[in-house]
Amino acid sequence: MKYKDLTIEQLKQKLDYNKIPKHIAIIMDGNGRWANKRLLPRNFGHKEGMERVVEIVEVSSTLGVKYLSLYAFSTENWKRPIDEIQGLMKILVQYIRRELERLYKNNIRIQALGDIERLPDFAKEEVIRAIKTTSENTGMTLNIGLNYGGRGEIVTGIKKLYNDISAGNINIDDIDEKVFSNYLYTKNQPDPDLLIRPSGELRLSNFMLYQIAYTEFWFSDTLWPDFNERELILSIIDFQNRNRRYGGV
Ligand code: IPE
Ligand code: IPE
Ligand code: MG
C-alpha cells in the first residue's frame, strides 16, 4: 500500500474535506479472532471492539460524516452461545452508560437499526434512553445495528406498507423506491456511500441489502479491535479516488 509510510497528519492532507462520504456503514467483524490470537475469551475481543467504536465515532464526527451505521448484532447472531450474547449485551449497556454524555455533548443522534424489542430488557431500556436523550441532536447520526437483518428489514417494511395501504393512507400507484425506503429502519436517511468490512471476510452478512445498491465497498484484513483512525482515513482516501457512475458513463 503506497500510503503505508505516511503519518496520520500526512494522510489527512490527502483527504478532500469537501468529499467526505455522507454515510459510512461498517460491518464490525473479527473480534473473536482478535481474542483467539491472544488466547483470550471471545468477549475480550468484543470489549476491545467497543473501544474502537468510541474512537471511530469520534473521528467520523470530526471529519464531518453525517451518518455512521455500525453493525453490532445481527438477527443471525442469536445462534451464538448464550454467554457470548449476554457479554455482548452487557458491553452495549456499558458503552451507553459510559459514553452517552459525551455523545450528547458532541451533538450525536443515536438511532437503532433493527427490532430492539427482542433485546433483553436491561439492554433495550438503555438503548431507548440513548435514542431519547439524543433525539434532538443535529450533528452526526449514529445508527447502531441491533438485532438487525437486511432481509427481515425489507419484510417488516412490506408489512408496514401493507397496513398503510389497508388503512387507505397510501395508494398503491404512489409507491416507488423512494417511498418504500421510508419503510426501512433508515427512514429519511441517505444510502451509505461507503461500506467497510474489516477482518478479511468478503460478504455482507445480511447488512443493509436495500440501501447498498450503489455503495462503494472497502474490505481489509484488519480485525475490528485493530481498526483505527488511520485505517478509516485510508478507506476514505480510496473512496475519494473512485469514479461513481450509477450506471451512467
Ligand atoms: C464481530 O466479531 C462482532 C459481532 C458479530 C457481534 P465476531 O464475534 O464475529 O468475530 P469473529 O468473526 O468470530 O472473529
Ligand atoms: C456480521 O458478522 C454481523 C456483525 C458484525 C454484527 P458475523 O461474524 O456475524 O458474520 P458471518 O457469520 O461471518 O457472516
Ligand atoms: Mg464474525
The answer to the question of residue 82 being in a domain is: yes
Which residues have a Cβ under 8 Å from the Cβ of 82 and sit 6 or more positions away? none
The answer to the question of residue 120 being in a domain is: yes
Residue among 77, 106, 137, 228 flagged as catalytic: 77
Q: Which ligand is nearest to the CA of 146?
A: 2
pLDDT over threshold 90, residue 223: yes
Q: Which ligand is nearest to the CA of 32?
A: 1
135: CA distance to ligand 1 center in Å? 29
For 121-158, the pLDDT digits (tens) are 999 999 999 999 999 999 999 999 999 999 999 999 99
The answer to the question of residue 2 being in a domain is: no
| DSSP-assigned letter for residue 191 | P
The answer to the question of residue 6 being in a domain is: no
Q: What cell numbers appear for 123 in the block?
A: 439492554
Kindly report the CATH number assigned to the domain that includes residue 57. 3.40.1180.10
pTM beyond 0.85: the answer is yes
Mark whether 77 is an active-site residue: yes
Between 202 and 5, residue with greater pLDDT: 202
For the chain, what is the domain count? 1
The answer to the question of residue 52 being in a domain is: yes
3-state secondary structure of 109: strand
The answer to the question of residue 169 being in a domain is: no
* pLDDT on residue 4: 85
Tracing cell 457470548 back to the chain, one arrives at 84
Confidence of residue 212 (pLDDT cuts 50, 70, 90): very high
The answer to the question of residue 236 being in a domain is: yes
Range(s) of the domain holding residue 143: 21-150+190-240
Q: Which helix H or strand E contains 123, and what residues bound it?
A: helix 121-133
**87 CB less than 6 Å from ligand 1?**
no
For 57-109, the pLDDT digits (tens) are 999 999 999 999 999 999 999 999 999 999 999 999 999 999 999 999 999 99
Mark whether 173 is an active-site residue: no
pLDDT over threshold 90, residue 2: no
